């Protein structure tokens, strides 16, 4: 998976956006069923495929199962619909968008209520073995493994190969742990909100220990959303991209504040810019972490309605490249959490 990706939530002019992203070198495109951008992305990418400028195998396409699809009998329907929208035969990564399932029907307020018959892991599925019909409770991630990564005897061969890898989104450490312990094919990725104000060091360390990569949405702190939420002068709103420490380092390295923030997010991954932050500067940025108060998007993950451009970059953490050597007396707490974290 390319270390930096391009998010597509809240974008209207998809042709121009995709053209700009691909011309700039992006090859990792992130979307979701609930963003309602899959069809526009599919049309834009088909132009590029037909022109011969790029091939499908050169791209890494991510989409997500909506929460109203968190049932065994619905996964195939939504994945097929996403592939039809994208005009593709497979996606490179298919994520469970939310850890909690919702009812497919809208209530009187036009919203979907939480489905009491589902939780963040379990779904019931029936299959035939010989003449017997068996009902079993399966891990939802395992269900996707069965139906889309393998050719199991009770499913048509045509259902295999639609997702090259599977993963999670907005799952906390306990939820990741339960999935990882129960899934025969482990999730490859967990996409969560993560920025310099909301660094989630324990979750990053825990996922790294399980070899589950972290993909950070809103790594710039969603400045557009923060401005919209506070309805004020952007210069007066406290956000990562205008933080004095970030501005100081941008001047020091002759980079933009956005580049400093992205570089910080992926400092332990593959180098994507022509500079590396010093350990001292990484620590200075580490201390900007505000925990839950640093969220920009909210506790329930990405919303279907967003400020355009608020999630245009994804920084993915968890490559096998080792982090820079830390000063011996100033160890990052996240470096020591992974071997000792114990969750019920």
pLDDT digits (tens, 9 = 90+) for 33-51: 999 999 999 999 999 999 9
Mean pLDDT of 77-103: 92
Catalytic positions, please? 35
d(CA 215, CA 190): 6
Look at residue 145 and tell me whether its pLDDT is greater than 50: no
pLDDT digits (tens, 9 = 90+) for 205-248: 899 899 999 888 888 887 777 777 777 676 777 888 889 999 99
Name the 3-class secondary structure at 80.
helix
Annotate 262-273 with DSSP letters as a single string.
HHHHTTTS---S
Name the 3-class secondary structure at 195.
strand
Name the 3-class secondary structure at 132.
strand
325 dihedral zone (left: phi>0; alpha: psi -120 to 50; beta): beta
d(CA 187, CA 103): 24
Q: What is the structure's pLDDT at 45?
A: 98
What is the biggest distance separating any 2 CA atoms in the chain, rounded to whole angstroms? Answer: 71
pLDDT digits (tens, 9 = 90+) for 20-30: 999 989 999 99
pTM of the model: 0.74
Domains and CATH numbers, the chain: 4-337 (3.20.20.100)
pLDDT higher at 320 or 189: 189
Q: Which of 46-60, 149-163, 183-197, 291-305 has the highest mean pLDDT?
A: 46-60
Q: What is the structure's pLDDT at 244?
A: 93
Kindly give, in sequence order, each residue whose CB lies less than 8 Å from that of residue 103, ignoring residues fewer than 6 positions away.
68, 112, 113, 114, 115
Look at residue 95 and tell me whether its pLDDT is greater than 70: yes
CA distances in angstroms from 225 to 29, 124, 193, 220, listed in the order given: 21, 38, 13, 11
Mean pLDDT of 98-126: 70
Distance of CA 273 to the CA centre of its chain: 21
Using 50, 70 and 90 to split pLDDT, how confident is the model at 107? Answer: confident
CA distances in angstroms from 327 to 158, 210, 280, listed in the order given: 54, 26, 8
> What sections of 254-333 are H helices per DSSP?
257-265, 279-286
């Amino acid at each position: 998976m390319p270390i930096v990706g391009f998010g597509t939530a809240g974008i209207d002019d998809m042709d121009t956006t995709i053209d700009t992203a691909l011309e700039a070198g992006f090859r990792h495109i992130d979307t979701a069923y609930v963003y309602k951008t899959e069809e526009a992305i599919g049309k834009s990418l088909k132009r590029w495929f037909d022109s011969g400028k790029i091939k499908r195998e050169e791209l890494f396409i991510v989409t997500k199962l909506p929460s109203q699809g968190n049932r065994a009998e619905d996964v195939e329907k939504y994945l097929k619909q996403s592939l039809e929208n994208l005009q593709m035969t497979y996606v490179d990564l298919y994520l469970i968008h939310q850890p909690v399932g919702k009812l497919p029907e809208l209530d009187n307020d036009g919203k979907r209520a939480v489905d009491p018959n589902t939780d963040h892991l379990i779904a019931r599925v029936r299959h035939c073995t010989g003449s017997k019909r068996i009902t079993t409770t399966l891990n939802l991630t395992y269900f996707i493994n069965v139906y889309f990564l393998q050719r199991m005897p009770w499913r048509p061969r045509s259902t295999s190969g639609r997702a090259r890898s599977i993963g999670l989104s907005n799952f906390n450490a306990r939820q990741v742990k339960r999935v990882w312990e129960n899934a025969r094919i482990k999730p490859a990725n967990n996409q969560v909100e993560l920025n310099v104000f909301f660094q989630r060091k324990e979750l990053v360390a825990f996922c790294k220990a399980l070899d589950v990569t972290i993909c950070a949405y809103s790594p710039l702190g969603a400045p557009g959303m923060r401005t919209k939420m506070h309805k004020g002068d952007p210069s007066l709103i406290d956000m990562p991209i205008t933080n004095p420490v970030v501005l100081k380092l941008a001047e020091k390295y002759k980079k933009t504040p956005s580049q400093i923030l992205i570089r910080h997010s992926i400092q332990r991954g593959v180098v994507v810019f022509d500079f590396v932050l010093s350990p001292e500067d990484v620590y200075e940025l580490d201390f900007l972490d505000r925990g839950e108060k640093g969220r920009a998007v909210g506790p329930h993950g990405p919303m279907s309605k967003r400020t355009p451009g608020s999630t245009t970059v994804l920084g993915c953490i968890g490559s096998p490249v080792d982090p820079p050597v830390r000063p011996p007396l100033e160890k990052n707490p996240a470096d020591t959490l992974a071997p000792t974290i114990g969750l019920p």
